[in-house]
Amino acid sequence: MRYLWKTSLFIAGLCGTVAAAQGGAPSETPAVTVRGQTYTPRSILARNMGSDEDQTTAFPPHKVIGNVYYVGTRTLSSYLVATPAGHILINSTYERNVRTIAKSVEQLGFTFSDVRILLGTHAHGDHQEGDALVKELTGAQVMAMREDVPALEAIRPNGKTHPVDRMLRDGEEVTLVGTTLVARLTAGHTRGCTTWTMKAEEGGKTFNVVFACSYRAPGNVTPDIEAEFMRTFKMLRTLPCDVPLGDHPAQYNMASRHARLAAGGPNPFVDAANCWVEAEIQEAMFRAQLDLQRKPSK
């Protein structure tokens, strides 16, 4: 038994077929139990994506911490990082959501056309399909991890060319006025899956904010993908984190945390003790999937 995240977990249901490859129907196996809750590929996908309505309906826009705001939908995250000289947007999501995101930005009192930089977590349509439209509406510079550029260029809604103005490398910084985000290559889910980190100020204190990429393995883990995930999960343990965020709100229980905002008290998004719960879940699933793939067929 391995305790890779200093939490007890056990792997169950290691029988049946491996979860379908990316884009296929998710499976009920393998199943893993982490911190008392059981997950399967199917349950994780349902939790992350919800219904078509969830993917396109705005969640109430709100301040997360410091100059970080949530402007996404019920199940697809988009974040605004505001500065006096314009803003950074993380994840355009689907193209059909861009104007919904713009409305949420305006509801917070900001101007959408003031977005100067557009970043993303990874090259899947539900997170970065809208990049071209955001650039069209705002003129923002689109920046992406170089390993994800080929996959991004294949995302062409309505035939539009996917813009990439600057290719980034692991550890490279993106700065706008006094705000700096660091691009962390956390490959596996995609070749250039990017976890963004920054520092936010609130109440005279400084907090480490982590915008996590998805750490979910595809249905078939190749040797290259295995090596990427091994590096990713090892590296994540080295990142300081006080405020865990994700490219799907369910990854950090956004709805329940948001409900606690009205009660006042400490900021519910500050939760250093539970920063890496989602990574624990996905690493357990990844290792269970490897065990399944290596199990001799009968």
CATH of the domain at 218: 3.60.15.10
Give the pLDDT score at 23. Answer: 44
DSSP alpha helices (H): ranges in 81-206? 98-107, 125-128, 131-138, 149-153
In a domain, 2, yes or no: no
Residue entry with tokens 């991004």 = 152
Q: Per the domain annotation, does 287 fall within a domain? A: yes
The sheet carrying 31-34 orders its strands as: 9-12, 31-34, 37-39
Residue 1 lies in a domain: no
Quick one: tokens of 138? Answer: 């705002």
**Does residue 3 belong to any structural domain of this protein?**
no
Q: Please check whether residue 4 lies inside any domain of the structure.
A: no
Task: Note whether residue 130 is domain-resident.
Answer: yes
**Domain span holding position 63:** 9-294
> DSSP secondary structure string, 18-53?
PPPPTTSPPPS-SEEEETTEEE-HHHHHHHHH--HH
Task: Provide the number of structural domains found in the chain.
Answer: 1
Is residue 86, in this structure, part of any structural domain at all?
yes
Residue 69 counted as domain residue: yes
pTM: 0.91
Q: Supply the pLDDT for residue 219.
A: 85
**What pLDDT is attached to residue 138?**
98
Q: Is the pLDDT of residue 3 over 60?
A: no
Q: List, for residues 89-140, the tens digit of each pLDDT value.
A: 999 999 999 999 999 999 999 999 999 999 999 999 999 999 999 999 999 9
